[in-house]
Amino acid sequence: MITIYGISDIHLSLANPKPMDIFGEHWKNHAERIAEAWDTLVKSNDVVLIAGDTSWAMKLADAKPDLDYILARPGRKIMIRGNHDYWWGREATNKIQRMLGTNVTLLNGTSTTIDGIGIGGTRGWRLDDIGLDGYEHGDIRIFNREIAYLRRALASIPADAHTKIALLHYPPFDLNLEPNEFRNVLEEFGVNILVYGHVHKGIGNYLEGNIGGIDYHLAAVDHTGFKPKPIIEIPS
């Protein structure tokens, strides 16, 4: 049995430590707690979907210890960018992929398939959101570009995939939980499962469960108890 897990918003800062407990005591020693839970739950043949905001680093060199932390965890990892992943420039994706090797797959408007399960991902965007950094995420050009990336990713999933998973950092709804165009694209391509992040405990509204035929999973670590969340099991 292979289990696909989801996790997001790990917010590592091993090169230049940034204490996350400024966002609440529940974040204390979060990197150690995540590693312990991950290493306990995840087997080497399992898959972990990482829905963005992996590292606070601004440059790839500073993100290297955080990426080594991810590489050291068991399982195959599939990653997308989050709004704080400044170290991951879109144009540098191929370079970073070569650096990480075959046990990590970077999705950037692209997809991959595992045992008949197609997984397509991109960062996504929101027009009504202000992040923890105070930056207003309201640029319609970025929103439309990310819509195009999501379309491209889902369109590249093979037609014979029996299950389709979308991996987004931003959820496909606004702050009032009203669906946006990302939701329309998920429906258009017949997505079965959505794994997303960005929404933190006590900050913003979120949706989970089966919504219009799509299973929503919020994977932000402070929502999941600082451990990977089981998403789906694949019979051996």
DSSP string, 177-232: S-B-HHHHHHHHTT--EEEE--PBTTBS----EEETTEEEEE-BHHHHTSSPEEEE
pLDDT in tens, 116-127: 999 999 999 988
pLDDT at 121: 98
pLDDT at 132: 45
pLDDT at 128: 78
Q: Locate tokens 């995420």: which residue?
A: 137
pLDDT at 21: 60
pTM: 0.94
pLDDT in tens, 9-53: 999 998 887 777 657 788 889 999 999 999 999 999 999 999 999
Residue 119 to residue 112: CA distance in whole angstroms: 5
Class of domain 2-234: alpha beta
Where the chain has pLDDT below 70, the residues are 21-22, 129-138
Q: Edge-to-edge strand order for the sheet containing 117-122?
A: 110-114, 117-122, 163-168, 193-196, 214-218, 209-211
